[in-house]
Amino acid sequence: MGDKLFKYGFIIVPAILVGFISRLAMLKIDYRQYPSYPQGVFTHLTLGIIASALGAVAVPALADNEFSAVTFLSLAAQQFREVRNLERQSLDNIEPTELVARGTAYIEDIAKAFEARNYVTMIVSLIVSIVIYLMTRMNIGLVYSISIGLIVGIVSLIYLNKAISRETLEDIAEVKIAKISFEGPLLRINDTVIMNIGSEKSRQIYKENGIAVEIIPHDKNGIETLANTGQRQAIQHNAAALLGIRKDVDEPDFTPIARRDPHTGRVVMSIVAMDPDEDCLVEAVKQTIVLESSRRKPLNSKIGRRSQR
pLDDT in tens, 167-192: 899 999 999 999 998 888 888 898 88
By C-alpha distance, which of 268, 217, 270, 279 is closest to 240? Answer: 270
Q: CA-to-CA distance for 87 and 33, rounded, in angstroms?
A: 13
Q: CA-to-CA distance for 239 and 224, rounded, in angstroms?
A: 21
At 175 the three-state DSSP class reads: strand
**Statement: residue 34 has pLDDT above 70:** no
Q: What is the pTM of this model?
A: 0.84
133, 152 contact by CB (below 8 A)? no
pLDDT in tens, 61-81: 888 777 666 676 777 777 777
Q: How confident is the model at residue 217 (pLDDT cuts 50, 70, 90)?
A: very high
Least confident of 63-72, 95-104, 186-195, 199-208: 63-72
What string of H, E and C letters represents the secondary structure of 101-167? CCCHHHHHHHHHHHHHHHHHHHHHHHHHHHHHHHHHHCCCCHHHHHHHHHHHHHHHHHHHHHHCCCC
Cβ neighbours of residue 75 closer than 8 Å, sequence gap 6 or more: none
Q: CA-to-CA distance for 245 and 250, rounded, in angstroms?
A: 13
What pLDDT, on the 0 to 100 scale, is given for residue 3? 52
Q: Compute CA 299 distance to the chain's CA centroid, rounded to the nearest angstrom.
A: 24
Q: Which residues face 187 on adjacent strands?
A: 182, 195
Type of residue at 202: S
